[in-house]
Amino acid sequence: MTIAALNPNPVPAILPGSGGLRGALSDLFWRKPNVLLLLMLLPPVLWLGIVYIGSLFALLAQSFFSIDEFSGLINREFTLKTYGDLFQAANLDIILRTVTMAALVTLASAVIAFPIAYYAARYARGRWKALFYLGIMLPLWSSYLVKIYAWKLILAKEGILTWLLAKLHLLWVLDAWLSLPVVGGNSLSVSFTGTFIVFVYVWLPFMILPVQAALERVPGNLVEASSDLGASPGQTFRNVLFPLALPGIVAGSIFTFSLTLGDYIIPQIIGTSRLFIGQAVYSQQGTAGNIPLAAAFTVVPIVIMGFYLWGAKRMGAFDAL
Amino acid sequence: MTSAVSFQKASRHFGSVRAVDAVDLEIAPGEFFAMLGPSGSGKTTCLRLIAGFEQLTSGSISIFGERAEGVPPYRRNVNTVFQDYALFPHLNVLDNVAYGLMVKGVGKAQRHKAAEEALSLVRLPGYGARRPGQLSGGQRQRVALARALVNQPKVLLLDEPLGALDLKLRENMQEELKSLQKALGITFVFVTHDQGEALSMADRVAVFNDGKIMQIGTPEDIYQRPKTRFVADFVGSSNVLPPDFVQRYSGQHRWGSLRPESIRVGRAASGATSGEGVSARLVSTNYLGATTKLALDADGLRLHAIVPAGTTLPAEGEAVVLTFNREHLHLMDEPA
């Protein structure tokens, strides 16, 4: 049997166009892919560029205005007086507290996330991998507020954690911790320790996923090669796994760090009465009506994140994205 | 003399899959040893057993007389050149080569000097500052070789190291590896599925199939005197002849093998007079450059012959007569 016998209906080498507007558009988009790209990107660029970034700049511009302390009216003239107010000791205290908390939350998230991500990237297969993703994502499906209030109950003096520690006769450990200055308090739900625990819980998925993606890209034979060349498991971790996972850790830390810098709900519900940046912005623009100072406070996390991203880029964090 | 590597009834089973099944093997010190076999035949698992990446299910392995069971890879003075090289992408070439010395705590100046020397050994001097990503496949292969050799291993394991290279480069590397092995005197264990590579480089070859060693011998042994049909067919695609056919020419009822290059092809008319040829029909010819491969049909028996290029050939479909020297017909051990 010849090929021609298999193909009894010869077709032309070039098919005719399908005609109509759709056909013409399809051909146009094929010939000029940039036209399609422009059409697809125009709406989100307009949204991001004008509505989103534009209003952000409008807010930031407010930080160069000042408030008239007697009338409470905003004086719309360029001044650096508001930034002078920002650098008062009480406000610097808020900034320092927030940055310290964000750094500690990031560090703890990285330490907790790494083994989980390592397991998922190296060992979990099939249904275990599905279970891993479900376990990481599931908390993200429920409301943020519900989770925080649930934690308030867990951490409260009458809560399940106190009950559990009492049953285990370990209540003295909790009491000893709570009696410490700064991190302690009346109960975990009104201490910085409680704020820290809830921050780590809420942002952990944002650390696990990028670290897992980075580890998944490390070929297994690099670990074997390191071991073959005489490196103990600890040396392999320090010299091969950690450097190769670092971009993922940095990418994850951008999430945990910036989200902690800006959050104002968690420290309000769980923690002490001392303010974080987000709460300061909230109270300045609301009850105090001092929009310029609120705007100046908003600039702080943006500047910190700017430096952080610049440093992260130098470490090659964005190669992994 | 102590063997460099010794397997005693070594088995590695993965569930019901017998990747390596009761293998006995002795590799002599300073030997260039090839493990040859199709994919899934257990040769790579054997290599990984020596390296320590896999653990035995039963049997034992010793390396230079020392038992290796339960010894992790990092405590074995054995190094591997990986199939896809496994160079560390975040380190430059010099630090890649110096890695083994670095984890052993050798000082920076000293290990960099040793790494430079290893790089010159593989003819890549001055490449230290580059990243593995900036090198060609052949260069990466040399770096992987230098990275293993710098540790002065007792045994060097090579897992299909030439598989990813193009033909020309592969031939160069074959010669280089062989002369390097002679100069250094290190035991090389080389895994390949390419029979040409195994025959041209190795002092001895083990042919693997289904987790077992089918035959161990010098390249000439393996090629000229295969013991089983599998070896005859896998190494150099010999013609495997059934016992009835062999009986007519040798008087013995056994499986035989006949190398394609031992078969002479003549025209039916001229060959008929001698009276002792095999009459066959030429099915197709396949031009290979230096030689031409002929597919023949002798009464339902498929045979291949290889003749030098330039031989005048009968047309496809024509009747031919095949002749061969009796001593080229090799009788195999395998029971008929």
The CATH class that applies to domain B238-331 reads mainly beta
Distance separating alpha carbons of residues A219 and A53, to the nearest angstrom = 40
pLDDT band at A67 (very low <50, low <70, confident <90, very high): confident
Selecting from A229, A230, A244 the residue whose C-beta is nearest the C-beta of B90 gives A244
Q: What are B68-121's pLDDT values in tens digits?
A: 988 999 999 999 999 989 999 989 999 999 999 999 999 999 999 999 999 998
Q: Where in chain B do CATH 3.40.50.300 domains reside?
A: 5-233
Distance separating alpha carbons of residues A130 and A137, to the nearest angstrom = 10
Range B192-199 average pLDDT: 90
Chain A partners of B148 at a C-beta cutoff of 8 Å?
A: 229
Question: Which B residues 87-126 touch A at CB under 8 Å?
Answer: 87-90, 99-100, 102-104
- Judged on CB neighbours under 10 Å (0-12, 13-18, 19+), B150 is buried
Range B34-60 average pLDDT: 93
Q: Where in chain B do CATH 2.40.50.100 domains reside?
A: 238-331
* pLDDT at A309 > cutoff 50: yes
Whether the CB-CB separation of B140 and A225 falls below 8 Å is answered with: no
Chain A partners of B104 at a C-beta cutoff of 8 Å?
A: 230
Distance separating alpha carbons of residues A51 and B189, to the nearest angstrom = 66
B44 at A interface, C-beta within 8 A: no
Global pTM? 0.80
Q: What are A132-189's pLDDT values in tens digits?
A: 989 888 888 889 899 999 999 999 988 899 999 999 999 899 999 999 988 888 889 9
Instruction: Return the residue in B54, B76, B80, B106 with the most chain A beta carbons within 10 A, the one to mutate for interface testing.
Output: B80
Range A303-317 average pLDDT: 83
% of chain B surpassing 90 pLDDT: 53
Backbone φ, ψ for residue B34 (5° rounding): -110, 140
Whether the CB-CB separation of B212 and B25 falls below 8 Å is answered with: no
A46 at B interface, C-beta within 8 A: no
Chain B partners of A227 at a C-beta cutoff of 8 Å?
A: 52-53, 72-74
Q: What are A256-300's pLDDT values in tens digits?
A: 999 999 899 999 999 888 999 999 988 888 877 888 899 999 899
Provide the mean pLDDT of chain B.
89
* pLDDT at B194 > cutoff 80: yes
For residue A18, give every residue at least 6 positions away whose Cβ sits within 8 Å of its Cβ, in sequence order, or none. A26
Helix, strand, coil percent content, chain A, rounded in steps of 5: 75, 0, 25
* pLDDT at B26 > cutoff 70: yes
Q: What are B262-314's pLDDT values in tens digits?
A: 888 887 765 444 556 788 889 998 888 889 999 999 888 889 999 888 778 88
What pLDDT sits at residue A321?
A: 47
Weakest-pLDDT range from A76-80, A267-271, A285-289, B212-216? A285-289
What pLDDT sits at residue A25?
A: 87
Selecting from B51, B74, B90 the residue whose C-beta is nearest the C-beta of A231 gives B74
Query: What value of ipTM does the predicted structure carry?
Result: 0.84
Q: Do A232 and B74 touch (CB under 8 A)?
A: yes
CA distances in angstroms from A279 to A93, A94, A198, A276, A284, listed in the order given: 13, 9, 16, 5, 8
Paired strand residues for B204: B33
Chain B residue closest to A224 (CA)? B53
What pLDDT sits at residue B36?
A: 94
Distance separating alpha carbons of residues B188 and B181, to the nearest angstrom = 7
Domains detected in chain A: 19-54 (no CATH), 89-320 (1.10.3720.10)
The CATH class that applies to domain B5-233 reads alpha beta
Q: What is the CA radius of gyration of chain A?
A: 27
Closest CA to B158 of B66, B29, B34: B34
